[in-house]
């Protein structure tokens, strides 16, 4: 099919991009059909995708795949026309038919291919079409012939029917609903459209984000009810005599008409039987209703069902195709609907819950996950198409494994699955379910905290558990014995092993056993990262296990696939490589070592010699504790990869064994070394070295100087940049080494020894060992002295701009920085309040996470919701313990060192699953705010070496902290307004759900990642055509591998939108941006910073298409999401304010625009400093706004400030500085022109004005007539003129305020010019009229004189102060002019905060409206 080629998107010529943007989502439905498994089938090329690149002369490469028309005839008589390729698989074709509206409810059928020569072939599911027949000759057709049902397929058919009937309850994208509402309101009335802007026309709502929580949750579309119920009948299972006649299942139906039917499902079809009451009558009813599908039968027996089902299909067809695709792994939502929806009867839901199998199949044999995974890895991948098929199979199998592991882990933690070794201590229980091995990991950090504080001694390893290993050998993966973790593949997690048998007397024996021999959080995380690293190395013949880490109800469960034969213990010699007893005996195998060595070269690991306990020297290319096992399938498996990178030399104290360096840091370090070698080797390598350094040290994000430009990249994409640069790294190093070889130089590439700074004895000379240690120290020093300062610099320049804790973590990891360095980052960013706050919140939340997880482990099932709400009240409120109500802050500080050792919050029982008899009821009630925060302070000091401020509990931004904590633990709360200043803001009813939090290593296409990286480089160079081709190809590959619902696909859509935006095709950019928005909402969450950026970009594209009202609605959503994730104090919020201001400026609402610009300026000056480039952007935006109002003096002042900042930051030669200088010249010229015009007409106007006033004084009746005419024609303007005239007649001085300021003067001039060109007379305030009263001449003299007099009064006062660069203002100016500016002579130019202070007078009114 069309979607199965990486170049399929260039097969059709581009069309015009002139359609309306509001219909973009509907038009996209005509161009893209999304398959149920995610793969997209392009039915017609996207209209606007190629427009801009074609305009720039791009020549799209013609794909090698051709499409041929094939008709499909369905069972129900429907006929479809498809475009197929001979290489398409039959499974792909079936998936498309399952998604097509005409055939979506047909599940059991055979595909029969009829060719032109009359031959008939049956298509097998796992074949390609070309293997059966040649469709290139044309004249081929497909027939969906009914197939026979069996028990499995008929149940799947009923489930598919239920799924289709529930499609209407799926929530759509808010952007789509906003566009539809806007279109409807615009068609109904213009007033409704104007009302749309009032939602954004307010700055105060961000100060109370909790009031907006309910706006985050999306309400599902209108539910379309088709049938009352479809349930399996209590007549099931069929009696034996009916089974022999083909009966498979009985179903009870209740239609909307109220009729009840009992339906028999046979191997051939469904029919209505004659059963009534409690007795089965299998005979067919008199009405003789029957059909091959349950949907077809319902359409025959219920007219209301037929109509409602048609509405569901129409709704599905009208939605964006991506909105109909389910994500394989949906993100957890931390907010639930409020008020709670009614829980109604649903027989289908009850059946699914009661048949819960924790991820295994209900019918049929269980899946062999390991065999499936390793077979997929063995797929050939020499050609492009083979690589796509291999990646797709790996992604699908791994995703299914993760979903099954989640279900199984929930069953394990809920004690629904028994252990396979119930006689062993509970902390070593292991579980096997659905061919997945489950084991527990303990919170090592929480265990070390009191011990480290109390004794400050070095942690030793306990004795090896050979006896336990022997007992568990029949049900453990390593029957050869484990050093310290029988529970999890023998992974060692002892903290600092120096001698066997040492113990700490201060620590109880059971706790010491638990901490030294169970897998910790750190070892499990490192094992997952190591497994992923070896998977990406992709060495033929070396295999790894599928792995996932699931956190649920305070427990961490490690799930892994099972090595064939390991549970049966049929291979006593299966361990070929590595050690299971902390290096006492190290196994070695030449074939295994050769494969490990090949992987080590790709991972920058050194082949080195290690001495085991017997004195034997063994060569290894991996950590000592890794285990190479040969399974009964003769495959070589490498396990326990906790240290695939060396240990961090900056942390060598107790408890830091698993403090290893990140793979991203190793990549960056060697890339930097390769760049240095290039510089020293040859001149032609300089460009390559420069490019490598740029990739190594910067995010390579494409930045745009324009304010109104989409957010092209944020920290999340930055993380993907650096985490996927391994190929670029290798290429740079290879190029440099090849050049060095050509020049006759011998280049010895550096590799790192993973076993330095450990307890293992290394062989070799002292010099060699010192060299290995120095290499690792060099990398650690590079992290501390190069990477960290560069990261902080990127934060200062907003090159990296994390929005919340998750994106901050991604940014740290992308730069190769471990989260344990977050305390150092906080110390280095005290001059950046938003980053410092972000780091502090992250440390607080991570510290609190350990406490709440312990609470969950210790709580009984019926106490979970009360325990969580109590913890939240202690964390965010003020829950006091008995006897501590009068504790002062000083006493609290004095007790801080005592409480952690005695565990002020509650006692720690580590490593226990928590059976009911071991849990004390209501133990969570022992926690109070004082003890909880004492633990948090101590944990941050211990884990991150950071002293939290004493007032952290008061200073912490509560909504972002709640969001962050809920996401880390998997808690869902109701989306209501919370009074977070109360002592107990949470109630038990606010806790809705506990969900598992998952870490996994689901692979994606490395080829697509490389294409994206290359495309970003081309986009940075301005090569739009090439960038578009690369992004399109990556998009096509990823859709085939992962389907559309994946974060990497959203990444491609964002960059495609960038290319089209820069090429001027806003409609095409809007299409791509809408896709990214839908994917982000489904894959990363409704309130993720990615989603916020998507809404912001959508707003900018809508604004570019002159749909400003709709753009402002999207900006309102952006500000809401930003308020939830980062709070109101963040540079991204200031940038969004600038964009909102520009939109209001373009629709003429200058007062609102100025308020947003003022707020943006205040935020940037407070967060970034008065001399930051982003502050200069605010000044420039203000200068442009004042220019639009004709206030050129204010424009000049603000642009001068912009220029001063740019000169200091960028230098005078920078293009942006020169542009600012040109703006200054422009503003000066315009200001001089205005002054010249005023001075020229001043003398004549003064004479005529005095003459007119004398005439009016002499003729009072003329004055009355004039007032009547003016009041009738000019409205409010006439009233103000009459007041001024009256004052002049009475001899009162005119107010010195700017009743007619420079903006009004400019508006008058423009209106007069236009009116004069059309031959119209002009009222003094710029309103053209067709006729004036009979005394026209006198009125004109008077009006022009008074208008000019007001200006003269202003001008006569201005020169006194404007000589010093300040605008003058009398006491009444603030009331009469919203744009006036005031500043003292010793202050900086107007606009630095007080310059627009007079606009604050309008804020209370706006806030009152919002309230």
Q: What is the pLDDT of residues 1150-1168, one digit of tens each?
A: 989 999 999 999 999 999 9
Place of tokens 């039959």: 90
Residue with the larger pLDDT of the pair 1028 and 1328 = 1028
The pLDDT, as a whole number, for residue 137 is 76
pLDDT of residue 1362: 36
pLDDT tier at 461, thresholds 50, 70, 90: very low
How much is the pTM?
0.76
Q: What is the mean pLDDT of residues 143-164?
A: 90
Phi/psi of residue 971, nearest 5 degrees:
-95, 140
Report pLDDT digits (tens) over 922-972.
Answer: 778 888 999 999 999 999 998 999 999 988 888 888 899 999 999 999 999
Largest CA distance in the chain: 124
Average pLDDT value for residue range 247-257: 93
| Helices 1131-1146 & 1089-1104 angle (0-180, nearest 10) | 20
Handedness of CA 92, 98, 101, 102 (dihedral sign): positive
Q: Which residues contact 1071 (CB under 8 A, 6 or more apart)?
A: 24, 27, 28, 46, 47, 48, 49
Supply the DSSP symbol for 752: B
Q: What is the mean pLDDT of residues 708-736?
A: 46
Q: Is the pLDDT of residue 896 over 50?
A: no
Candidate from 317-326, 1048-1057, 1303-1312, 1400-1409 with smallest mean pLDDT: 1400-1409
What pLDDT band is residue 427 in, cutting at 50, 70 and 90?
A: confident
Does residue 62 register a pLDDT over 50?
A: no
Mean pLDDT of the 964-987 span: 92
Which tokens in the block code for residue 262?
Answer: 């009992």
pLDDT of residue 1219: 93
Q: How confident is the model at residue 684 (pLDDT cuts 50, 70, 90)?
A: low
Alpha-carbon gap, residue 1058 to 261, rounded angstroms:
56
What percentage of the chain reaches a pLDDT higher than 90? 39
The overall average pLDDT reported for the chain is 74
**What pLDDT shows up at residue 1015?**
95
pLDDT band at 1264 (very low <50, low <70, confident <90, very high): low
Please determine, for residue 251, whether its predicted confidence score (pLDDT) is greater than 90: yes
pLDDT value, residue 1078? 92
Q: Which residues contact 1321 (CB under 8 A, 6 or more apart)?
A: 1315, 1328, 1329, 1330, 1331, 1332, 1336
CA angle 1231, 1232, 1238 (to 5 degrees): 95
* pLDDT over threshold 80, residue 563: yes
Average pLDDT value for residue range 694-715:
42
Dihedrals phi, psi of 1324, to nearest 5 degrees? -60, -25
| Residue 55's pLDDT band (cuts 50, 70, 90) | very low
User: Which residues, 6 or more positions from 1283, have their beta carbon under 8 angstroms from its beta carbon?
Assistant: none
Other residues' Cβ atoms within 10 Å of the Cβ of residue 1264: 10
The pLDDT score that the predictor gives to residue 364 is 63
Average pLDDT for 293-311: 92
Per-residue confidence band for 1393, with pLDDT thresholds at 50, 70 and 90: very low
Whether the per-residue pLDDT at 553 is higher than 90: the answer is: yes
* Chain centroid, CA 549 distance in Å: 20
Please give the angle made by the CA atoms of 1327, 1330 and 1334, to the nearest 5 degrees. 105
pLDDT per position as a tens digit, 1331-1360: 333 334 443 444 444 434 334 443 333 333
Helix (DSSP H) and strand (DSSP E) numbers for the chain: 49, 30
> Token match 């397929």: residue?
153
**pLDDT value of position 216:** 72
Ranges 610-619, 1294-1303, 1315-1324, 1347-1356: which has the least confidence: 1294-1303
pLDDT band at 28 (very low <50, low <70, confident <90, very high): very low
Q: Kindly indicate the confidence band of residue 165, based on its pLDDT and cuts at 50, 70 and 90.
A: confident
Measure the CA–CA gap between 1138 and 1183, rounded to whole angstroms.
Answer: 12
Cross-strand pairs, 551: 556, 997
CB 579 within 8 A of CB 624: yes
Between 1054 and 360, name the one with better pLDDT.
1054
Predicted confidence (pLDDT) at residue 53 exceeds the cutoff of 50: no
Query: What are the angstrom distances between the C-alpha of 1099 and each of 677, 959, 1140, 1348?
Result: 46, 25, 9, 42
Q: What digits encode the pLDDT tens for the residues 184-208? A: 666 665 444 444 444 454 455 455 6
Q: If you write DSSP's letter for every residue of 1133-1183 in order, what string do you get? A: HHHHHHHHHHHHHHTT-HHHHHHHHHHHHHHHHHHT-TT-HHHHHHHHHHH
Judge whether residue 485 has pLDDT over 50.
no
Q: What is the mean pLDDT of residues 991-1005?
A: 92
Q: What is the pLDDT of residue 344?
A: 82
pLDDT of residue 1287: 37
118-127, 715-724, 778-787: least confidently modelled range: 715-724
Of 30-44, 84-98, 576-590, 857-871, the one with minimum mean pLDDT is 30-44
pLDDT of residue 1235: 86
Instruction: Please state the rounded mean pLDDT for residues 1040-1060.
Output: 93
Question: Bigger pLDDT: 1191 or 22?
Answer: 1191
Q: Are 233 and 265 in contact (CB under 8 A)?
A: no
Give CA–CA dist 112/126, Å, rounded: 14
More reliable by pLDDT, 874 or 345: 874
At residue 1304, does pLDDT exceed 50? no
Residue 819 DSSP symbol: G
Listed ranges 206-210, 417-421, 1322-1326; the one with the highest mean pLDDT: 417-421
Which of 576, 288, 575, 548 is CA-nearest to residue 437?
548
């Amino acid at each position: 099919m069309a979607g199965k080629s990486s170049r399929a998107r260039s097969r059709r010529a581009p069309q015009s991009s002139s359609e309306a943007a509001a219909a973009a989502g509907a038009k996209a439905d005509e161009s893209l059909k999304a398959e149920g498994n995610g793969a997209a089938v392009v039915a017609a090329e996207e209209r606007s995708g190629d427009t801009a690149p074609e305009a720039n002369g791009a020549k799209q490469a013609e794909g090698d795949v051709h499409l041929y028309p094939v008709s499909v005839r369905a069972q129900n008589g429907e006929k479809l026309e498809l475009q197929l390729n001979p290489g398409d698989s039959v499974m792909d074709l079936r998936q498309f038919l399952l998604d097509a509206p005409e055939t979506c409810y047909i599940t059991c059928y055979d595909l029969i291919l009829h060719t032109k020569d009359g031959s008939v072939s049956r298509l097998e599911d796992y074949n390609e079409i070309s293997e059966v027949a040649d469709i290139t000759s044309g004249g081929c057709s497909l027939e969906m012939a009914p197939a026979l049902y069996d028990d499995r397929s008929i149940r799947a058919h009923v489930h598919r029917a239920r799924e289709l009937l529930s499609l209407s309850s799926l929530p759509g994208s808010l952007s789509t609903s906003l566009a539809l509402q806007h279109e409807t309101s615009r068609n109904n009335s213009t007033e409704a459209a104007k009302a749309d802007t009032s939602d954004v026309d307010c700055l105060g709502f961000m100060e109370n984000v909790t009031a907006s929580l309910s706006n985050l949750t999306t309400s599902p579309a209108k539910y379309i009810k088709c049938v009352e119920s479809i349930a399996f009948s209590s007549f099931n299972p069929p009696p034996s005599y009916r089974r022999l006649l083909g009966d498979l299942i009985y179903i009870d139906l209740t239609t909307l008409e109220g009729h009840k039917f009992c339906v028999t499902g046979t191997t051939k079809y469904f029919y209505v039987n004659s059963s009534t009451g409690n007795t089965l009558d299998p005979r067919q009813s008199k009405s003789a209703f029957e059909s091959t599908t349950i949907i077809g039968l319902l359409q025959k027996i219920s007219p209301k069902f037929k109509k409602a089902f048609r509405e569901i299909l129409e709704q599905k067809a009208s939605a964006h195709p991506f909105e109909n695709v389910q994500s394989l792994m949906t993100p957890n939502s931390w907010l639930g609907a409020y008020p709670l929806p009614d829980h109604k009867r649903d027989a289908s839901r009850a059946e699914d819950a009661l048949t819960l199998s924790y991820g295994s199949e209900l019918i049929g044999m269980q899946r062999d996950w390991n065999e499936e995974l390793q077979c997929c890895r063995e797929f050939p991948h020499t050609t492009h198409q083979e690589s796509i098929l291999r990646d797709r199979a790996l992604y699908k199998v791994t995703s299914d494994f993760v979903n099954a592991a989640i279900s199984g882990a929930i069953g394990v933690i809920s004690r629904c699955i028994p252990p396979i070794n119930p006689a062993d201590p509970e902390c070593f229980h292991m579980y096997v379910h659905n061919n997945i091995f489950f084991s527990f990991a303990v919170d090592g950090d929480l265990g070390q905290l009191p011990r480290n504080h109390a004794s400050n001694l070095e942690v030793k390893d306990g004795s090896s558990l050979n006896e336990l290993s022997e007992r568990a050998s029949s049900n453990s993966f390593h029957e050869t014995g484990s050093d310290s973790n029988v529970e999890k593949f023998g992974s060692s997690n002892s903290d600092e092993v120096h001698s066997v048998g040492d113990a700490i007397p201060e620590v109880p024996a059971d706790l010491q056993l638990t901490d030294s021999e169970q897998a910790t959080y750190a070892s499990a995380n490192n094992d997952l990262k190591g497994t992923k690293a070896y998977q990406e190395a992709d060495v033929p013949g070396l295999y790894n296990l599928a792995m996932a880490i699931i956190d649920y109800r305070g427990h961490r469960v490690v799930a892994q696939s099972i090595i064939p034969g390991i549970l049966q213990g049929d291979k006593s010699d299966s361990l070929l490589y590595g050690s299971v007893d902390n290096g006492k005996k190290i196994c070695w195998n030449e074939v295994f070592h050769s494969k490990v060595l090949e992987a080590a070269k790709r991972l920058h690991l050194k082949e080195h010699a290690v001495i085991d306990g017997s004195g034997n020297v063994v060569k290894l290319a991996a950590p000592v504790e890794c285990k190479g096992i040969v399974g009964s399938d003769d495959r070589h498996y490498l396990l326990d990869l906790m240290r695939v990178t060396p240990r961090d030399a900056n942390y060598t104290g107790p408890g830091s064994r698993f403090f290893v360096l990140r793979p991203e840091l190793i990549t960056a370090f060697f890339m930097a070394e390769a760049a240095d070698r290039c510089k020293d080797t040859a001149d032609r390598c300089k460009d390559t070295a420069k490019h490598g350094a740029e990739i190594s040290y910067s995010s390579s994000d494409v930045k745009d100087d324009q304010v109104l430009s989409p957010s092209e990249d944020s920290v999340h994409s930055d993380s993907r940049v650096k985490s996927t640069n391994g190929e670029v790294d290798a290429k740079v190093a290879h190029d440099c080494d090849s050049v060095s070889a050509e020049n006759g130089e011998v280049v010895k590439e550096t590799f790192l020894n993973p076993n330095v700074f450990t307890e293992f004895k290394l062989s070799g000379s002292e010099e060699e060992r010192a060299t290995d240690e120095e290499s690792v120290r060099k990398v650690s020093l590079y992290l501390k002295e190069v990477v960290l300062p560069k990261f902080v610099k990127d934060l200062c320049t907003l090159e990296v701009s994390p929005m919340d804790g998750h994106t901050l973590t991604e940014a740290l990891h992308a730069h190769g920085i471990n989260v344990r360095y977050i305390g150092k980052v906080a110390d280095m960013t005290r001059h950046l309040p938003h980053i410092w706050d972000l780091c502090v919140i992250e440390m607080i939340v991570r510290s609190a996470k350990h406490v709440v997880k312990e609470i969950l482990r210790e709580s009984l099932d019926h106490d979970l919701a009360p325990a969580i709400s109590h913890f939240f009240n202690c964390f965010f409120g003020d829950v006091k313990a008995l006897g501590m109500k009068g504790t002062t802050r000083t006493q609290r500080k004095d007790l801080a060192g005592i409480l952690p050792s005695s565990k002020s919050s509650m006692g720690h029982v580590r490593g226990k699953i928590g059976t009911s008899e071991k849990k004390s009821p209501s133990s969570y009630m022992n926690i109070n705010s004082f003890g909880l925060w004492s633990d948090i302070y101590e944990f941050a000091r211990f884990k991150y070496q950071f002293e939290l401020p004493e007032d952290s509990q008061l200073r912490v931004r509560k909504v972002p902290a709640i969001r962050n904590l809920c996401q880390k633990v998997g808690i869902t709360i109701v989306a209501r307004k919370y009074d977070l200043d109360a002592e107990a803001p949470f109630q038990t009813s606010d806790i809705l759900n506990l969900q598992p939090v998952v870490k996994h290593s689901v692979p994606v296409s490395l080829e697509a990642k490389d294409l994206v990286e290359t495309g970003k480089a081309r986009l940075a160079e301005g090569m739009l055509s090439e960038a578009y081709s690369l992004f399109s190809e990556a998009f096509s590959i990823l859709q085939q591998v992962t389907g559309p619902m994946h974060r990497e696909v959203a990444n491609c859509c964002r960059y495609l939108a960038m290319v089209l935006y820069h090429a001027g095709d806003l409609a095409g950019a809007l299409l791509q941006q809408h896709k990214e928005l839908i994917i982000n909402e489904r894959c990363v969450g409704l309130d993720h910073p990615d989603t916020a950026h998507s809404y912001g970009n959508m707003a900018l594209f809508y604004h570019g298409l002159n749909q400003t009202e709709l753009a402002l609605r999207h900006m309102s959503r952006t500000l809401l999401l930003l308020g939830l994730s980062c709070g109101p104090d963040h540079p991204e919020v200031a940038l969004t304010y600038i964009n909102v201001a520009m939109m209001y400026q373009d629709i003429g609402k200058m007062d609102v625009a100025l308020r947003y610009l003022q707020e943006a300026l205040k935020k940037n000056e407070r967060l970034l400093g008065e001399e930051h480039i982003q502050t200069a952007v605010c000044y420039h935006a203000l200068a442009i706004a004042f220019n639009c109002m004709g206030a050129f003096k204010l424009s000049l002042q603000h642009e001068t400030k912009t220029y001063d900042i740019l000169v200091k930051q960028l230098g005078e030669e920078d293009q942006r500085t020169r542009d600012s200088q040109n703006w200054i010249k422009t503003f000066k010229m315009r200001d001089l022109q205005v002054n010249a015009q005023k001075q020229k007409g001043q003398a004549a106007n003064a004479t005529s004005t005095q003459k007119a006033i004398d005439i009016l004084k002499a003729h009072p009746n003329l004055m009355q007539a004039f007032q009547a005419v003016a009041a009738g024609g000019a409205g409010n303007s006439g009233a103000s003129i009459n007041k001024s005239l009256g004052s002049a007649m009475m001899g009162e001085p005119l107010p010195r305020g700017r009743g007619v300021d420079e903006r009004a003067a400019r508006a008058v001039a423009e209106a007069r010019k236009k009116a004069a060109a059309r031959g119209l007379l002009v009222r003094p305030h710029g309103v053209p009229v067709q006729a004036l009263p009979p005394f026209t001449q006198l009125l004109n003299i008077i009006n022009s004189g008074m208008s000019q007099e007001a200006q003269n009064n202003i001008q006569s006062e201005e020169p006194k102060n404007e000589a010093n660069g300040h605008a003058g203002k009398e006491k009444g100016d603030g009331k009469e002019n919203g744009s006036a500016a005031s500043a003292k002579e010793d202050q900086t130019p107007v606009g630095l905060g007080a310059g627009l202070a007079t606009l604050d007078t309008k804020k209370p009114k706006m806030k009152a409206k919002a309230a």
